[in-house]
Structures are given as structure tokens and as C-alpha cells.
């Protein structure tokens, strides 16, 4: 399952790389020009998505526990939209509680999420867009 998640993450952008396969967590990232989107897959099945800016600061974070429920979601509305889109793409068996979570429902209304699901933009373009705009918490 973890391999599948990492593989699907790699399909999201041409700039994706696997940074570390051993030891846990398995780390992969999609790099923009300055910012990057990191995936960490842990030993117990937890998956973490982090949007990291060029200062190395985490600007948005989404943690899925092994039972595919949402443990954590922080960041701006638009960045949450990106992380949720990516989570839905890479994790095929999300729990119903994920989809019903109020924060998830709110973030799905973001312009970024809507554009991604409509195919009007892609993950790398969104990262480039964030790089140009100073999104804060």
C-alpha cells in the first residue's frame, strides 16, 4: 500500500523524486522553483503531506492515520485544498470520516481544489502559483 502511495505521488508531477526509501519514513517530494510538497510514509501506515517553503518552514500539513482518517490539517484554505486533492489522488481507500470532516469540506470549496479537480490546473502549477503569492496561515 505504501509503495502504491509513493508511486501515485510520483505520477502527480514531472519534478517528483523519492528522497529516502529506508529507514522509515519513506520520503518523496515534488519540487517547484523554491517551495516543495513532501510526502512522508511511516512504518505504521501514517501518511503526511507537507507544503514547505524555501525557508524550510512547513506552511501546510495534512496527516492521515493508518486507518485513513484525518489526524491533522493545517495551513491556508488554498494550501489545504492542494493537500486534500493530493491525498485523494494518492490514497485510494480514504475513510468516509475523511470526506465528512468539516475542515475537509471547507477546503474543498477553495478555488485551488476546484481548479485541480476540474483539470484546469495541476499540482506543479499550483506550487508555482503559491511561490508567486505569499500565502500565510
Q: For other proteins, give the closer residue by CB, 42 or 135.
A: 42
Q: For other proteins, give the closer residue by CB, 38 or 124.
A: 38
CB 73, min distance to other proteins, A: 7
Give the C-alpha separation, 65 to 97, whole Å: 12
| 79 contacts 101 by C-beta, under 8 angstroms | no
Q: For other proteins, give the closer residue by CB, 35 or 50.
A: 50
CB 121, min distance to other proteins, A: 27
Distance of CA 134 to the CA centre of its chain: 18
Considering only the stretches 36-44, 89-97, 115-123, 128-136, report the one whose residues sit in contact with other proteins under the rule CB under 8 A. Answer: 36-44
Per DSSP, the residues of 28-85 read EEEE-SS-EEEEEE-TTS-EEEEEE-TTS-EEEEEEE-TTS-EEEEES-HHHHHHHHH
Mark 40-79 with x for binding to other proteins (rule: CB under 8 A) and - for no binding. --xxx-x---------x------x-xx---xxxxx-----
CB 12, min distance to other proteins, A: 23
The reply to whether omega before 56 is within 30° of 0 (cis) is no
Distance of CA 38 to the CA centre of its chain: 7
> Which three cell numbers, joined as nine digits, stand for 125?
502549477
23 touches other proteins by CB under 8 A: yes
Catalog residues that contact other proteins under the rule CB under 8 A: 23-25, 42-44, 46, 56, 63, 65-66, 70-74, 103
Amino acid at each position: 500500500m505504501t509503495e502504491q502511495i509513493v508511486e501515485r505521488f510520483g505520477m502527480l508531477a514531472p519534478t517528483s523524486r523519492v528522497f529516502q526509501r529506508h529507514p522509515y519514513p519513506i520520503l518523496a517530494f515534488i519540487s517547484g522553483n523554491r517551495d516543495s510538497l513532501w510526502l512522508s510514509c511511516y512504518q505504521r501506515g501514517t501518511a503526511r503531506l507537507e507544503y514547505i517553503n524555501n525557508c524550510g518552514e512547513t506552511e501546510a500539513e495534512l496527516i492521515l492515520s493508518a486507518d485513513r482518517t484525518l489526524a491533522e490539517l493545517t495551513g491556508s484554505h488554498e494550501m489545504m485544498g492542494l493537500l486534500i486533492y493530493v491525498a485523494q489522488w494518492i490514497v485510494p481507500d480514504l475513510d468516509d470520516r475523511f470526506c465528512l470532516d468539516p475542515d475537509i469540506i471547507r477546503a474543498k470549496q477553495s478555488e485551488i481544489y476546484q481548479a485541480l479537480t476540474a483539470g484546469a490546473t495541476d499540482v506543479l502549477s499550483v506550487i508555482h502559483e503559491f511561490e508567486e503569492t505569499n500565502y500565510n496561515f
